[in-house]
Structure 1
Amino acid sequence: MSLHVERYGSTGPELVLLHGWGLSSAIWAPVVERLSRQYRLTLIDIPGLGRSPALDTGSLDALATALLAQAPQRAIWVGWSLGGALALKVASLQPARLSALMLVAATPCFVQREGWQPAMDPALFDAFAEGVAHLPAKTLGRFAMLQTQGSQSARTELKMLKQVIAQSEPDNLAGTLELLREDLRAELAELSVPASLVLGRYDQLVPASLADAVVQINPAIEVQSFEASAHLPFLSEPEHFDEALASLTRRTCL
């Protein structure tokens, strides 16, 4: 299968960037010019989203395998939101392919369940899934607003999200949403590569209270909270994001 892949930069460590649900790699546009001076970037549209066709089977394992086929042999993986869950699955399936992992506004378990409270209420998630099935455009618009609420640059971020959504023609919007029901806490516990988690203080989707729960699962993960951000910390606080990425890069064994 041919996925949509973009590559930038000619020097430095390999860096894979994975976007979130309902969007495409276009969301990374503001960081590409900056990061491509220091990294060799690979941006991949997740199967079923953006400009990549859906797979015949839409499991996390299948999507992770498809992404690995397009990625460098060894790289730092940066996954935002759903992209973080996929990057975590990649690390579980093929740990030797990662030199480090950065989870950005991402969680190993997006929906609440017994023993796991820093997540979305299951009834709210079900209602959101119903909206995607029957009123996708309206639901995506609401989703965009939730992602930016509380951010210091909410207007700019919302404008960009709407542009990326308008340009995307996803093959599998509903199916890829269901991936967020997966519980990857076991994969997080077994994670062996250098890893960091970046959270936004005002994130309405992945709460900042997740920090303590993640450290309890895997104390080796370095957690940072961006105090002026919501769900898009790489856009809200670009300098802070670059510093966090540089810090993780220094921890790798490239």
Structure 2
Amino acid sequence: MSDSATNTLVLLSGWGCDARLWQALDDHWPAGLEVMTPDWPGYGARTALADPASLEALADAMVDDLPPDAIWVGWSLGGLLAAALLDRLPTPRALVLLGMGERFPHPEGVSPTALARFRQAFRRDPVATHAHFMRWQLGGEPSPRAAHRRLRTLLGDEINADAATLAAGLAHLAEIDNTRRLATPPCPVHRLAGEDDPLLAPTVRERADYRLPGAGHCPPISQPMRLTRALAAIAVAPTRSLAEASLETMP
């Protein structure tokens, strides 16, 4: 890893998954990158916020974990939250949205009605609903069962997150809309998506700067090498589109 802060990536996990998810990438990073994987408040051993729904409190808690000389990489809910923090924290070198658009609910993807039903199910039975989501999000991977086994190996079977934080995360998924914020972003924004992501509408996947082949919603699990090389290309030239970058070395 490099001493240069200009080659720093901060990886931010999505709903229901703590930072151990990123261990799937450990064997694939090229030399010269510094990779940080902080947990969100309420995940892992990190203390939950008194008000998990407050973006202002979230910004205060994450200010040291999201330095302006780094590239923020947010997966799923992590991308939605990272984009929402752009106008609450010093501007990063670039933002990468992995498996996330400007907002989450979409009539051709996960509809507002489907998300509302999921939130109701979580209120009734958080443990069963979380376990269902862990399997459901992997439906677009080439081998969903193998991907689920890998995810369980990394994260275990227990929910390693605060229940109030998880509930607030579902509210964020339902309510945060970064459309205006990302229409004129303060930094370069790169959009990556799995080619077969079942949680994204087809039009959202098609607008991605790079679609990861052989991947669904969870490329860290199914395509760690392709993902690390795409992120490394962004780290080297954050103002350059991945569509223009040289990715010939990607298998």
* TM-score band w.r.t. shorter chain: 0.7 to 0.9
Which of residues 127, 140, 145 in structure 2 aligns to 1:137? Answer: 127
State the match for 1:63 in structure 2.
Answer: 58
Alpha-carbon distance change, 207 to 65 in structure 1, aligned in 2, over 3 angstroms:
farther
When the two chains are superposed, the root-mean-square deviation of aligned CA atoms in Å is: 2.2
Question: What secondary structure sits across from 1:90 in the alignment?
Answer: helix
The answer to whether the 8 A contact 1:11-1:37 is kept is no
The answer to whether the 8 A contact 2:42-2:161 is kept is yes
Question: What secondary structure sits across from 1:133 in the alignment?
Answer: helix
TM-score between the two structures when normalised by the length of structure 1? 0.82
Instruction: Work out the CA distance in 2 between the residues paired with 1:111 and 1:91.
Output: 21
Alpha-carbon distance change, 167 to 243 in structure 1, aligned in 2, over 3 angstroms:
same
Which of residues 126, 137, 151 in structure 1 aligns to 2:141? Answer: 151
Q: Do structure 1's residue 250 and structure 2's residue 202 form an aligned pair?
A: no
Alpha-carbon distance change, 33 to 72 in structure 1, aligned in 2, over 3 angstroms:
farther
Instruction: Work out the CA distance in 1 between the residues paired with 2:113 and 2:214.
Output: 29
Higher strand proportion: 1
Question: What secondary structure sits across from 2:44 in the alignment?
Answer: coil
Instruction: Work out the CA distance in 1 between the residues paired with 2:89 and 2:40.
Output: 18
State the match for 2:157 in structure 1.
Answer: 166
Which of residues 18, 21, 34 in structure 2 aligns to 1:27? Answer: 21
Shift of 1:37: 3.6
Question: What secondary structure sits across from 1:209 in the alignment?
Answer: helix
- Aligned pairs, how many? 232
Q: Do structure 1's residue 38 and structure 2's residue 32 form an aligned pair?
A: yes
Residue pairs, 1:177-188, within 5 angstroms: 177-181=170-174, 182-188=176-182
Question: What secondary structure sits across from 1:41 in the alignment?
Answer: strand
| Structure 1 unpaired stretches of 5+ | 1-8, 216-221
State the match for 1:219 in structure 2.
Answer: none
Shift of 1:178: 1.0
Instruction: Work out the CA distance in 1 between the residues paired with 2:57 and 2:27.
Output: 31
Q: Deviations over 1:118-161 (max 9, x none)?
A: 44211111110111111112111221122111312422321133
| Structure 2 unpaired stretches of 5+ | 240-251
